[in-house]
């Protein structure tokens, strides 16, 4: 999973970094250029990018709060929200 924060020094940017650190989610910090912001129609920073999907601050904080760790067979932990949701759906509905 690839996670990046596009931000300038700001309280909201630091809030995102703190929330990611609390969940032990690895991330990179990028300073966006005006060209990048224009191409991606970004009106306000910070923006969180998760596997290529851009999330504004509010959606990013919701995503981080819902994020769960998943234990692999070799007892290492990795994080993937969609896999947790699919497992939960299977447990509730019996679907695969």
- What is the number of domains present in the chain? 1
Answering whether pTM is above 0.95, one says no
- Over residues 5-64, the pLDDT tens digits come to 999 999 999 999 999 998 888 999 999 999 999 999 999 999 999 999 999 999 999 999
Asked if the bond preceding 46 is cis, omega within 30° of 0, the reply is: yes
Range of the domain at 74: 3-93
Instruction: Look up the CATH number of the domain holding residue 74.
Output: 3.40.30.10
Pick 66 or 75 by higher pLDDT: 66
What secondary structure does DSSP assign to the chain, as a single string? --EEEE--S-HHHHHHHHHHHHTT---EEE---HHHHHHTT--SS-EEEETTEEE-HHHHHHHHHH--EEE-TTS-EEE-HHHHHHHHHHHHH---
């Amino acid at each position: 999973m690839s996670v990046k924060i596009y931000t300038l020094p700001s309280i909201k940017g630091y809030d995102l970094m703190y929330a990611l650190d609390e969940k032990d989610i690895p991330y990179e910090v990028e300073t966006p250029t005006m060209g990048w912001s224009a191409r991606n129609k970004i009106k306000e920073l910070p923006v969180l990018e998760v596997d290529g999907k851009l999330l504004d601050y509010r959606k990013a904080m919701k995503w981080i709060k819902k994020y769960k760790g998943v234990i692999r067979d070799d007892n290492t932990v990795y994080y993937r929200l969609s896999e947790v949701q699919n497992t939960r759906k299977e447990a509730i509905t019996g679907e695969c």
